[in-house]
Homo-oligomer: A and B are copies of this chain.
Amino acid sequence: MAGVDWSVVPTTEDAGSELYDLIAGLYPICRSLTGEGVRDTLAIIGRDVPLDITEVPSGTQVFDWTVPREWNIRDGWIASPDGTRVVDFRRSNLHVLGYSVPVRERLPLVELREHLFTHPENPDWIPFRTSYYDENWGFCLSSRELERLADADYEVVIDSSLTNGSLTYAESSTTGEIRDEVLFSTYVCHPSLCNDNLSGVALVAVLAKYLRRMSLHYSYRFLFGPGTIGPLCWLWNNEDRLDRVAHGLVLSCAGDSGSLTYKRSRREDAQIDQAAANIVRTAGGSVRPFEPWGGDERQFCSPGFNLPVGALTRTPADHFPGYHSSADNLDLVRSEFLGDSFHAVLNIVDVLETNNRFVNRNPKGEPQLGKRGLYRKVAGGSSIETALLWVLNLSDGEHTLLDISDRSRLPYATIREAAEKLVEHDLLEEAQSR
């Protein structure tokens, strides 16, 4: 019952700082579905974690989808008649509509307006907008900026390219005792947005860094790709080995102040669902049923794959203030919440690693705990003592430790500790390898 090697795991505080610093380093890069921004991001992650990079050529047919052309951008602005850049990509990469085709024109405001996007709810925020699959160009700006634009002709420049190239995804993996894998997936296609989803990128990267240092039962895989089409490319390239995916989590929105939220896999009662629900509930978070929209779990949980992959967030995307806008910046995410999310995932890993079935070696009557120094006073006693009794009572080879934690409503860690104590005292033995 090895589980997570906590001796190599940084404290919540230290992990939080490390995650925050990584986010801060990745923040300025302009990422998109494809292009150099994704590659630059992966290069930074690759400093700590060895990455296998896969390039999928534009035009590749992937299930029902076609890999789009590669988009790159150097600059973009709107200049007023006196040459002042009133909207400028260099001030915020959110200003340019993602996947804008190149443009260099002079337009009266009335025509330009059709290409301008503001945030419906907050006049100070620049919205994040894209047009991946409809050719278009445009600028995003705050309502206040728009109001300041006088009725005049403007110079509009987007120095971008949309050409045949490739889509980039990366993965890192560890080899455990068995080939069965735990998959962590996140998306890397958002420009300067922190909670959604640099927090997820950093979380998967730092998980990879520390889980690589442990000897674990499962193999682990860490996937970084653009949203939707990235997982689809990976699924396409790995269709013959998907039976190795024993458990999985899509990680995102890991740094805001909301409590943890687990969204079940399509299977609803896979072991990852039971494990994540247990840990999230113990942490005071909430558990939601599967729904076929949201993040990349949609692809893993499509009916043709139906993989046991859930989604873990703090506040789900679309529900935190500032979502998909310039307000999702380095002030929105906090070190303490990032560290807490990191430890929550490790607690889930620990469950998956140690969730065995045991057999009570003295199943007839309660063993005498007192003579082994394991018992003071159970009724009204400490939770470790009640945990000892629960583990003894339910360890009939049928119930896993997670089952016992769920039924007793005692934390998994307490149940696990009780099981270890009982094994030490020869009162318990493992039922079978798994």
Contact = CB atoms under 8 A, between A and B. Distances in A.
Interface of A: 62-65, 133-134, 228, 231-232, 235, 239, 266, 291-294, 298-299, 301-306, 317-318, 360, 362-368, 370-371, 378-380, 386, 389-390, 392-396, 408
Contacts of A235: 364-365
Contacts of A62: 365
A389 B65 contact: no
Contacts of A371: 133
B292 A390 contact: yes
A31 B95 CA distance: 78
A379 B318 contact: yes
A237 to B, nearest CB: 13
Given A292-B389, A292-B390, A292-B392, A63 B364 contact: yes
Q: Is the interface of A mostly helix, strand, loop or mixed?
A: loop
Contacts of A298: 366, 389, 393
Contacts of A395: 303
A98 B365 CA distance: 23
A350 to B, nearest CB: 24
Contacts of A390: 292
Nearest to A395: B303
B299 A365 contact: yes
Nearest to A427: B64
Contact of A364 (B304, B389, B393): B304
Contact of A304 (B228, B360, B380): B360
B363 A396 contact: no
Contacts of A291: 386, 408
Nearest to A290: B393
B303 A393 contact: yes
Contact of A292 (B266, B303, B393): B393
Given A64-B368, A365-B64, A393-B266, A318 B380 contact: yes
A365 B133 contact: no
Given A365-B299, A365-B304, A293 B386 contact: yes
Q: Which of A62, A231, A303, A318 has the most CB of B within 10 A?
A: A303
A303 B368 CA distance: 15
Please provide the 3 A-B residue pairs with the shortest distance between their CB atoms, ordered closest to farther. Answer: A304-B363, A304-B364, A292-B393
B368 A65 contact: yes
A364 B408 CA distance: 39
21 contacts: A63-B362, A63-B365, A64-B365, A64-B366, A133-B370, A228-B366, A235-B365, A239-B364, A291-B408, A292-B366, A292-B389, A292-B394, A293-B378, A298-B393, A299-B365, A299-B366, A302-B360, A302-B365, A302-B366, A304-B360, A304-B365
Nearest to A235: B365
Contacts of A389: 292-293, 298
Contacts of A134: 370
A386 B291 CA distance: 9
Contacts of A364: 63, 235, 239, 302, 304-305
Contacts of A294: 379
Nearest to A378: B293
Given A63-B364, A64-B368, A303-B395, 9 more contacts: A62-B365, A63-B362, A64-B367, A133-B371, A239-B364, A292-B392, A292-B393, A292-B394, A303-B392
